[in-house]
Amino acid sequence: MRRILLLAASIVALTPVAAAAEWLALRTKHHQVAGNVSARDLKDVAFRIEQFREVIATLNQATIDAAQDVSAIVLAFPDERSYQPFMPMANGRRVPVGGLFVAGPRGTYITLNLDAGDDAYRGIYHEYSHYLLRNVFGAAPLWFNEGLAEYYSTLEVSSDGRRAVIGKPIRQHVELLRERRLPLAKLLSVTAASPIYTSDSPERSMLYAQSWAMVHHALHAQPRRRDALVDMAFKLAAGMTPEQAVLEAYGMTLSDLERDVQAYMRREIYQATSLEFKDAITTTLGRNPVPADEGEVEAWLGGVQMTIGRPEEGAVRLEKALKTRPDVVAALSRSNYRLRLPGRGAVLATMRAFLNQGDYAAVRGALTPMVHANPADHEAALMLAEALLRLNDPDGARALLGPVLAGGTDPHKDQARALLAQLSEVREHSGTLPPAPVAPPPPVVVKNQGLILQLRGLQPGEQRIQGALQRIECGRNGVVVVIGTPQGATRAAAPSLASIAFVTFRSQTGGAITCGAQAPAPALLTTRLEGTRTIAVALELLPDGYVP
């Protein structure tokens, strides 16, 4: 909680983004930054992100440490026109944003539209705040997430790097709050799927303004209520109603808190926090941007689009990236960055990566049934023929190339002739194809040292999350189980500890658990959804190193 307290803060007609050759890239100490903007603007983006990161580190190094293993790729665009293809889609409509933090199985990105004057700097700090908050409170309610990001977007650092100010009033928000306000219960219930958030409406602007005011009130009004603010956010994330969360966290009714916050907004006395640093923070950035690699840019842009509801556009970019930088796409295809291209494109994209990596057997296994089912798929047939050629099966390769030469497109015919030439050349020199390199057999590894656990079976509607048990939060309205995962903390609620099926396979743990912080232990948390609430069904503690 300490980390959070200190951090407390239809597809449109596409206009092609400037060619990748016009993109510049800059690798800072902590992040990759790229953009189709001027070298000066790109360097300024990189500098401000590094400076913001350093300011937060002076407040709470633990917040920065939580983000060490997740490096964000920052992509900058010069104007709204070039940025539109990278705005998220919801219910078939584009969600208008000036910047976006994207974290998912396809990578972690910050995208920015720099066509906003001085407000562009606020956008940089706003999106980076999302990046930091996600690593310490992944399930934060939307108003809390946006309110903190808006609060910290006001960072100003002196030219000598020894002073900073955070929390100055945001003019647009103050003016808007004079005219209208959202009911507090509605504000606290907004989610990323709510129409108020996904539509371009006055209420959306009000959401940002009032979320900022809620955070500013907690951090600067008398008495200070930072602890209450964070406690309420946790309770709401666990599924508690706004009325109950306010009562338990603030010790007052929802209507009383609403009156208190509205009175604070009417006074318009917004103080800020001044910081002084013993050692000056970053004031310059030594590195300069260089021309970006086209394949890398296409892979990054495709990764963003695959995550924001634009998979068809993302697939096209990733297909293009595969031709020049299969290593980048392959990296996105591993572990937490696994790409899932739609349909046939998924198979062919993956097979190209496997061909470049030399995994010919995998290509043969995947494409053989595909080509047999559709011999007219000449692109798949060519890839399979190349794999068979490398696997010393010339007859199989030749059988695939004949139909391509007979009925394929000119580019496909050219590829077929090139493969046949390779086949003939090898036979001419050696009379046979050289065998494919044979790797030494891998050592026999017995998974989990032969240990087999009788894990609880999943029931319809349930899902299982693997992570490390962190704590059990107990209150008058039930309990919340908190599991840490590489993507952030996962929280699930239950009426009581007794309602959660608890099993331990650890010799270090007894047959019961209690409330409070827990000794970190590998765990499987089984959950189900009830409306918008995540319900804890079962908790299974695993032996160290066990892989389900």
User: Does 487 score more than 70 pLDDT?
Assistant: yes
C-alpha radius of gyration, the chain, whole number: 27
Q: Residue 106: which pLDDT band, with cuts at 50, 70 and 90?
A: low
Chosen domain end from 384, 410, 425: 425
Query: Are the C-beta atoms of residues 180 and 262 closer than 8 Å to each other?
Result: no
In a domain? residue 13: yes
Q: Which two tokens stand for residue 58?
A: 């002076």
Which pair of tokens denotes residue 446? 């017995």
* Non-local CB neighbours of 349 within 8 Å, separated by 6+ positions: 315, 318, 319, 322, 329, 339, 341
Residue 87 backbone class (left: φ over 0; alpha: ψ -120 to 50; beta: rest): beta
User: Are 152 and 279 in a shared domain?
Assistant: yes
**Do 387 and 459 share a structural domain?**
no
- Packing angle of the helix pair 360-373, 343-357 (nearest 10 deg): 150
Put simply, whether the predicted model's pTM sits higher than 0.75 gets the answer no
- Rounded distance, CA 300 to CA 35, Å? 11
Quick one: 382 and 466 in the same domain? no
CB atoms closer than 10 angstroms to residue 117: 8
> Is position 174 within any domain?
no
Tokens for 28, please give them: 């800072």
Q: Is residue 262 part of a domain?
A: no
CA angle 224, 192, 319 (to 5 degrees): 130
Residue 310 lies in a domain: no
Rounded Cα distance, 338 and 334, in Å: 5
- Confirm whether 234 is domain-assigned: no
Helices (H) and strands (E) in the chain, counts: 21, 17
β-bridge partners, 101: 110
Whether 386 is covered by a domain: the verdict is: yes
Query: Are 227 and 241 spatial neighbours (Cβ–Cβ below 8 Å)?
Result: no
Same domain as 506, residue 386: no
Six token digits for residue 496:
């009581």
Q: What is the structure's pLDDT at 282?
A: 76
- What 3-state class would DSSP assign to 482? strand
The residue from 425, 443, 476 where one domain ends is: 425
Count of structural domains within the chain: 3
Give residue 2's region: left, alpha or beta (phi > 0; psi -120 to 50): alpha
Rounded to an integer, the average pLDDT of 247-252 is 93
- 389 and 493 belong to one structural domain: no
CA dihedral 405, 407, 408, 410 (to 10 degrees): 80
Q: What is the DSSP letter of 115?
A: T
Residues 42 and 88 in one domain: yes
**pLDDT tens figures, 59-102:** 766 656 655 556 788 999 999 899 999 988 777 778 778 888 87
Residue 443 has pLDDT above 50, yes or no: no
Question: Which residue would you say has higher pLDDT here, 338 or 186?
Answer: 186
Can you give the CATH number for the domain in which 463 is found? 2.40.50
Is 438 a residue whose pLDDT tops 70?
no
What SS3 state is found at 479?
strand
Same domain, 470 and 533: yes
Q: Which of 287, 308, 319 is nearest to 108 (CA)?
A: 308
Please determine, for residue 354, whether its predicted confidence score (pLDDT) is greater than 70: no
pLDDT digits (tens, 9 = 90+) for 504-534: 766 544 444 667 788 788 899 999 888 778 8
SS3 74: strand
Residues 72 and 163 in one domain: yes
Is residue 402 a part of any domain in this protein? yes
Indicate whether 328 belongs to any domain.
Answer: no
Q: What is the largest CA-CA distance in the chain?
A: 91
The token pair at 92 is 């078939």
- Residues 28 and 156 grouped into a single domain: yes
Name the strands in the sheet holding 99-104, side by side, starting at the edge strand that comes first in the sequence. 99-104, 107-113, 73-77, 32-35, 24-27, 290-291
Q: For 167-253, where are the alpha helices, taking DSSP H only?
A: 171-179, 184-189, 195-198, 202-220, 226-237, 242-250
Inter-residue contact 114 to 179 (CB < 8 Å): no
Q: Residue 538 carries which side chain, given as an amino acid letter?
A: A
Residues 6+ apart with CB under 8 A from 368: 384
pLDDT, residue 232, reads 92
- Let me know whether 410 and 516 are in one domain: no
Residue 378 shares a structural domain with residue 524: no
Q: Are the CB atoms for 501 and 456 separated by under 8 Å?
A: yes
**Full domain range(s) for residue 515:** 451-541
- Closest by CA to 47, choosing from 164, 148, 157, 153, is 157
> Is the preceding omega at residue 311 within 30 degrees of 0, hence cis?
no
43 and 139 share a domain? yes
pLDDT, averaged across the chain: 79
CATH number of the domain at 369, please.
1.25.40
The residue ranking higher by pLDDT, 338 or 185, is 185
